[in-house]
């Protein structure tokens, strides 16, 4: 037997869940992966902007591996954030600020 009417209840997406979605979206942007110190080198802060989300993303780059120029990289992260938060979180994103910082130096490891 199937029901033709919706089941009562509500779905709540907490602020922490939205933050994790945002971090995952930023980490999922393929363009920065070779330049970042590690996947943990991504931080996201979310804020309310008149009912929409405003996101601030910080990516710690590894010196010596950062691509040139950084503007297309920022655009790729911004697009990934907007798409993922809209699709998975059901939220409208008004602004995404991307900040790059120096996270460390690239070092070559020797294998004994």
| Confidence at residue 69, expressed as pLDDT on a 0 to 100 scale | 76
| Confidence at residue 36, expressed as pLDDT on a 0 to 100 scale | 56
pTM score: 0.73
| Confidence at residue 46, expressed as pLDDT on a 0 to 100 scale | 92
The SS3 of residue 83 is: helix
What are the boundaries of each domain within the chain?
23-103
The SS3 of residue 8 is: coil
| Confidence at residue 25, expressed as pLDDT on a 0 to 100 scale | 84
Class of domain 23-103: alpha beta
pLDDT-flagged residues of the chain (< 50) = none
| Confidence at residue 93, expressed as pLDDT on a 0 to 100 scale | 93
Candidates 85, 110, 101; CA nearest to 29 is: 85
Phi/psi of residue 41, nearest 5 degrees: -80, 15
């Amino acid at each position: 037997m199937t029901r033709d009417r919706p089941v009562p209840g509500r779905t709540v997406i907490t602020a922490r869940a939205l933050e994790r979605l945002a971090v995952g979206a930023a980490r999922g942007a393929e363009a920065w992966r070779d330049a970042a110190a590690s996947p943990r080198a991504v931080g996201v802060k979310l804020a309310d902007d008149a009912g929409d989300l405003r996101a601030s993303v910080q990516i710690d780059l590894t010196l010596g591996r950062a691509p040139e120029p950084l503007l297309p990289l920022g655009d790729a992260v911004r697009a990934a954030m907007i798409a993922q938060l809209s699709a998975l979180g059901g939220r409208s994103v008004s602004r995404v600020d991307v900040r790059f910082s120096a996270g460390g130096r690239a070092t070559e490891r020797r294998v004994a």
